[in-house]
Amino acid sequence: MYRYAAFVLFLAFGSVFQLSHGIEVNVKDKAGKLCLYANLMVNFSVSYEVAGNKSATVEFELPSNSTTDGSECDDRSSTLKLNFGEHSWSVNFTINGETYQADYITFSYNLSDATVFPNSVLNDTLAVTVKPHITDVAKDTCYSCKSKDMIEDISVNQTLWNVLIQAFVSNGSKSENISSCAADLPTTPVAPTTHTTSTTTAAPVTNATSPAPPTTTAPTPTLPTPSTGKYIINSDDNSTACLLATFGLRIGFKQAEKYQEMNLEPNTTTVSGSCGVNSSELVLVSNSMTIMFTFTNDTKKFRLHALNITGKTSSGVVFSEANTNLSLWEAAISSSYMCNKEQNYTITSLLTLYTFDLQVQPFGVKKGVFSTAEECFLDSDLSFLVPIAVGVALSFLIILVLISYLIGRRKSRTGYQSV
């Protein structure tokens, strides 16, 4: 919104930010055994607002002296959190059967830090949540990616390289097994095409032919109404709720010519996210999909601004769709948004979102309960007037056409009689 005069600043951070040559992290569990290992490099490019309605962009690396406060492990999920100054970078991992994956990366940065963001007109702490490309890593295996992997967002680009991670370490020692990213794999050369000639004897042709059996297409089973889940994000000190959401959720997606639908199952969904002054995130991870909701506000109203969905079909096909320019579920900051009726939204040309019994409040939560709700039009008392208004309008139209017909016929009859 303010990028028309963007310029680039390259900062040498001196003693505050040492340019890193990679950071190696060993996270231990409560028993003191290694449970998560990481050795990686991360580069950030952040655009922010400066005076004169202009923007500036700074680039810096994740410092090698970052601390690991907030990193933790258990049997089902692990978190790698690296803190530097007033900023942090974290990756959340979950395990699914015999494989694990990185569900999302959250980068939190404080614009009041003048050393990093000089001349910023904002003093807010912002957070961006993105989906990394670390999936289907076998247990007791390290994920490796020496190639640069850029993950882009609206105002923040993150580049990862020289990555070596094992999110679930067993027996307290890092595995020697390596799973390399696709960019590191050698390109297989295409074998030259050879042409050979051979003599074949045609099979005898018979006149008797059997008709091919008709092809039948199995009807797509109708999904039941998705169960309603309740999702809560607490503040940093875990003392109070800062984001509330309840809804039943279904997604529909198209691959090639095939359309499929999937319900989000609350009982198998893990919840995470963060709350900020101007931006809040809700991340839901189930066995079949990962959904990231990003809410923003303009100090008066909030809205769902971005949606990122990654999933896997029952046949193992992976899909990923995102829209970072939405304006849905809008309500006043001091209120919640509610829509009990089923709603559907076209997120992209390939992705549709269906909601049931929806109520969300990503800002201004007090005492852990929803504030007064602003209802969607379908729930409002005025919604029943729409079909009535349409019926009245059609009635007037029919009457108008009938009157025009009678007047026209009368004039034609009068003209005939006067001849």
Question: Tokens 């950030």 map to which residue?
Answer: 44
Instruction: Name the pTM for this structure.
Output: 0.54
Name the residue among 330, 295, 287 with its Cα closest to residue 311: 287
pLDDT at position 129: 86
Beta bridge mates, 145: 163
Six token digits for residue 75: 């049997």
Per-residue pLDDT of the chain (419 residues; tens, 9 = 90+): 433 333 333 333 333 333 345 899 999 998 899 999 999 999 999 999 999 889 999 999 999 999 999 999 988 889 999 999 999 999 999 988 889 999 889 999 999 999 999 999 999 888 888 888 898 899 999 999 999 888 887 788 999 999 999 999 988 999 999 999 988 887 655 444 444 433 333 444 444 444 444 444 444 557 899 999 999 999 877 779 999 999 999 999 888 778 889 999 999 999 999 998 889 999 999 988 999 999 999 889 999 999 999 888 777 778 888 898 899 999 999 899 999 999 999 999 899 999 999 999 999 999 999 999 999 987 665 545 556 666 777 877 888 888 877 777 766 655 545 44
Which residues contact residue 283 at a Cβ distance below 8 angstroms, ignoring those fewer than 6 apart?
92, 103, 104, 129, 271, 272, 273, 290, 291, 292, 293
Give one word for 144, left, alpha or beta, with left for phi > 0 and alpha for psi -120 to 50.
beta
Which pLDDT belongs to residue 189?
A: 52
Q: Domain boundaries in the chain?
A: 1-183, 225-379
Tell me the two tokens of residue 65: 């002296």
Q: Nearest Cα to 245, choosing from 225, 261, 269, 263?
A: 269
What does the alpha-carbon distance between residue 120 and residue 154 come to, in Å, rounded to a whole number?
17
Report d(CA 130, CA 292) in Å as an integer. 8
Distance CA 35, CA 28 (A): 5
DSSP assignment string, 177-228: -EEE-GGGSPPPPPPPP-------PPPPP-S--PPPPPP--PPPPPPPPPPP
CB distance 95 to 160 below 8 Å:
no
Return the pLDDT at 69: 93
The amino acid sitting at 354 is Y
Question: Would 1-183 and 225-379 be classified into the same CATH topology?
Answer: yes
CATH architecture of 225-379: Beta Barrel (2.40)
Top-tier CATH class for 1-183: mainly beta
